[in-house]
Structure 1
Amino acid sequence: MLARASGLTASALRFYDDCGLLTPARVDPLTGYRYYTEGQRERARLIRRLRAIEMPLESISEILSGDLGRAERMLDAHVGELNRRAVEAAVVAESIKRTLAMDERIALPARLLAEAFEQVRSAAANSREIPVLAGILLEATGNSLTLTATDRYRLSTRTLVSRDRQGDDWTLVVDSGHLAPIIDWLRDMDEIHAAPTDHGLLLTAAASAADDAFAGVGSGAAAADAEAPGGAVADADAAADGAAAAADAEAPGGAAAAADSPALDSPAAPAAAVAAVADATAATAAAADAVTGAGSAVGAGGGVGGERRCLVIDESFPDYRAVLSGLGPVRTRVLTARMPLLALLERGCSTVRFEVGATGIAVSGKRLPATVTGCAIDLFFEVATLLPAIDTAVGPDLMFDIAAADRPVVIRSATDGDLTTLAMPTWQPTNG
């Protein structure tokens, strides 16, 4: 019988009949039993083998149409696609394994982390005289991640609320000098998982492009089967004995269609297509073996695809909280628009004078509207210290909290206080 000879189940034979892919030579009008010719046995076997490598039904029909060149090209293209998906699957699987192994991780919006890195790193030192000052301190505590950097003249700190948190609290210092490509990569991600490892900070995309591509692996065949009349699904992996039993159960009185039963003519699969399918099956198996070790190389160096590693500086970060707690009471508070102030600072002077009065401020003699609370005061800033703090600030309006002319000035958004920057005033220039 065809079921036993081909390795297809009776339900699969019905399904391929409904699809027009393997039409019986004759159907008994009384019992509905299907009869096939000897020549259709090889076609049935080819269909089973093609479905075993996830070849879509419409492609199977073309492959078996008799055009050998067309069949070989389609098989090569399909195997190439399977190889690509296998590599992507290895990447995703390796990433998932590492994620599962993370005892301490925090989930964050990737674009928000990119923004925080960009803002805070402006306060990191450009020189390596004190190496740790060229880094950014990351502190995962509770449900948040705090980023802090300081070069002793500026200090920036921003706290991000996590989407999810696992494990104990942790801290480390990442090297700000290597963050530029990572920041660019983060801007294209949705959610990121950050976790400390023995080799630095590991950033893993929760939903990478590889995940999206891999989501379609094997879906073509399943989708085609799902559309079959009556919802029948072809079980290409059924054992021959099981297929025979199913066929026997269908036949009235246990009768079965013999392989050599007389029947009408039907198109036979070309012998060349048999060889082509055999070659494609072997190539797919070889590709699976080649992909086995692909995942082990993922993430070497800076990472690929859905993950990146940040280099760390293995030194103790200064106690910046002691600086914040020792600022003293605020004597003067200034609220002003960010962009006009930024435009004045970008004019190229090395030092600017801030004259804070009751009705506004003057920056090197240029008046700016501002709301001032507290006493009048004069300050001087190095533009190289103040400009990055204003440039990376959050929101259209800024708040300056001033304790004294020789104490750090706290700069933060008037509407969003999760980014705080300290800028140290300088001495009045000798030319007044």
Structure 2
Amino acid sequence: MPIGTFARRSGLTAGALRFYADSGLLPPAEVDPVSGYRYYSADQLGRATLLRRLREIAMPLAAVEAVLGAEAEEASRLLDEHVADVVGNAAAARRKAAVVKSALGGVPGLPIAALKGPVLADAVEQVLTAATHEPGMPVLAGLRLEAGDDALTLTATDRYRLSTRTLVPVEPPGRTWAGTVDGDELRAAAAGVRRSAVVRLEAMPYGIRLRVTAREDLHCRLLSDAWPDHRLMMASLDEVTTRATVSKDLLLRALEDQPGERVALHVADDEVTVGPADDAHPGVPLPATVTGRPLRLWFELTTLYPAVSTAIGPDVMLDLRGDGRPVTVRSADRGDLTTLAMPVRAHPVA
């Protein structure tokens, strides 16, 4: 078929086909020796389409050539490698853009709080376990920072979990401020934050600046979407009806041994029993200190397990509020990290 027809069928322009022919990636099936016209065969369409798709994801010519000549497994590996490079470059570009935007107009940063670097880094990593990337709700990938007169509160939620931790600054903030910071960028900055004895947070027009000891400042973007009104939800929580204190390690081990995606938690008689949601097998009884009425709840394993695993200390305290109500998971002796975990319906669908 002539080059124009092949171009329409492959989605490549005639100019692109000439370029790929000259580069050796897609030579024509035949070239008229007199006119120089190029002709392509139908069995070249697959290679042409793949070539177009690889270029659409900004793959360099050398990498395209390697993919076209590779077996499926190696080609897949090369694709993953390219995508990882693209994502890494995009993240670096976002961080550099945040630095540039922070400098626009020469506006000085508004001091938010000064905190111990290792403490802030730990809090960021712990709380961000409750964040998520959800299409249409980018704010759920963020970390909410709220500075009060004498504390800084970090909060993240995926709507099924909500983790929050309150930190006491080394210096009083002296003002109130709130903003939602890009969670991925803050997580990436945590390594530099951890190595600094003191980190000073400053609010900029489009992000926050983290001033670290003897190193270049770190910058993270602010997310513009509205943050869920978690304080209203916290204020409307029911009274605790049942409280259980149990070994964190034993509880995690019992959760890890569950075969399904859902797990049942039965709290009664100085025990917390962890079992399958369908009651097909006996649960694992764990010794616990229990007060209040017996209660049985069901959870998605991906909701309950992270809530327990991030608790600080050897024992976790579970505050239960009744069927279908959020459960508070926190350390039995250190309560500054708190996670709310939402159970699923009392009678799970088979």
Q: TM-score, normalised by structure 2?
A: 0.64
Matched, 1:118 2:125: yes
Q: How many residues align?
A: 235
Equivalents in 1 of 2:193, 2:325: separation in Å?
A: 36
**Distance in 1, Cα, partners of 2:177 & 2:314:** 33
Instruction: Spell out the pairing of 1:315-326 with structure 2 (5 A cutoff).
Output: 315-326=225-236
Structure 2 residue 191 is matched with structure 1 residue 180: no
Aligned CA distance change for structure 1 residues 179 and 128 (closer, same or farther; 3 Å): farther
Of residues 242, 263, 274 in structure 2, which corresponds to 1:363? Answer: 274
Aligned match of 1:310: 220
Contact 2:112 2:177 in 1 (8 A): no
Provide the residue aligned with 2:349 in structure 1: 430
* Cα drift, residue 199 of structure 1: 3.1
Which residue of structure 2 lines up, in the alignment, with residue 333 of structure 1? 243
For residues 113-164 of structure 1, the C-alpha deviation after alignment (integer angstroms, 9 at most, x for no partner) is 1111111111112223212122111001111100011111111110000011
Q: Secondary structure at the match of 2:172?
A: strand
> Contact 2:111 / 2:200 at 8 angstroms: preserved in 1?
no
Cross-structure match for 2:318: 400
Q: State the one-letter code of the partner of 2:274.
A: V
Mapped to 1, the partners of 2:189 and 2:207 lie a distance apart of 13
Matched, 1:391 2:292: no
Deviation at 1:166, TM superposition (A): 4.5
Q: Secondary structure at the match of 1:165?
A: coil
Q: Could you tell me how far apart the structure 2 residues matched to 1:346 and 1:200 are?
A: 39
Structure 2: distance between partners of 1:189 and 1:104:
17
Kept in 1: contact 2:149–2:173 (CA 8 A) = no
2:286 is the counterpart of 1:376: no
Deviation by residue 1:56-113 (Cα, 9 ceiling, x = unmatched): xxxxxxxxxxxxxxxxxxxxxxxxxxxxxxxxxxxxxxxxxxxx94442311011111
Q: 141, 150, 154: which one pairs with 2:161?
A: 154
Aligned identity (percent) is 41
What residue identity is the alignment partner of 1:191? V
User: Which piece of structure 1 moves more, 323-332 or 346-355?
Assistant: 346-355
- CA, structure 1 residues 179+349, in 2 after alignment: closer, same or farther (shift >3 Å)? farther
Contact 2:109/2:209 (CA < 8 Å) preserved in 1?
Answer: no
Counterpart pick for 1:132 among 125, 139, 154: 139
Secondary structure at 2:233's aligned position in 1?
A: helix
1:315 deviation in Å? 1.9
- The residue matched to 1:202 in structure 2 has which SS? strand
SS at match of 1:387: helix
Could you say which residue in structure 2 is the equivalent of 1:258? none
**1:152 is aligned with what amino acid?**
R
Mapping for residues 163-312 of structure 1, pairs under 5 Å: 163-205=170-212, 207-208=213-214, 305-312=215-222
Task: Confirm or deny that 1:345 pairs with 2:255.
Answer: yes
Q: Separation in 2 of the partners of 1:144 and 1:166?
A: 7
Unaligned runs of 5+ in 2: 1-106, 276-282
Counterpart-to-counterpart distance in 2, 1:197 and 1:160: 21
Residues 163 and 319 (structure 1 numbering): CA distance in 2 closer, same or farther, change over 3 Å? same
Is contact 1:103-1:166 (8 Å) kept? no
Query: Contact (CA 8 Å) 2:247, 2:288: kept in 1 or not?
Result: yes
| Contact 2:151–2:166 (Cα < 8 Å) also in 1 | yes
User: What secondary structure, in the 3-state scheme, does the structure 1 residue paired with 2:156 have?
Assistant: strand
Residues 350-393 of structure 1 show CA distances to partners (whole Å, capped at 9, x for unaligned) of: 11100111121110001111110000011101011111111111
Residue in structure 2 matched with residue 107 of structure 1 by the alignment: 114
**Deviation at residue 321 of structure 1 after TM alignment:** 1.2
Structure-1 separation of matches of 2:226 and 2:349: 37
Checking the alignment, whether the CA contact within 8 Å between 1:118 and 1:392 is kept in structure 2 is: no
Q: Indicate which of 398, 409, 413 corresponds to 2:327.
A: 409
Instruction: Determine if contact 1:386/1:423 at 8 Å carries over to the other structure.
Output: yes
Distance 1:103 1:126, change over 3 A: closer
Q: Please, what is the CA RMSD of the aligned residues?
A: 1.6
Deviation at 1:195, TM superposition (A): 1.2
Name the structure where strand makes up a greater proportion of residues.
2
User: For 2:307 and 2:240, how far apart are their aligned partners in 1?
Assistant: 19
4+ runs of 1 displaced by more than 6 Å?
none
Distance 1:127 1:430 in 2: 24
The one-letter amino acid paired with 1:394 is I
The change in CA–CA distance for 1:200 and 1:103 in structure 2 (over 3 A counts) is closer
Asked if 1 retains the 8 angstrom alpha-carbon contact of 2:110 and 2:204, the reply is no
> Within 2, Cα distance between the matches of 1:167 and 1:142?
5
Residues 193-250 of structure 1: CA deviation (Å, up to 9, x unaligned): 0111023111101x32xxxxxxxxxxxxxxxxxxxxxxxxxxxxxxxxxxxxxxxxxx
What letter matches 1:190 in structure 2?
A
Alignment partner of 1:141 is 2:148: yes
**Structure 1: any 5+ residue segments left out of the alignment?**
1-99, 209-304
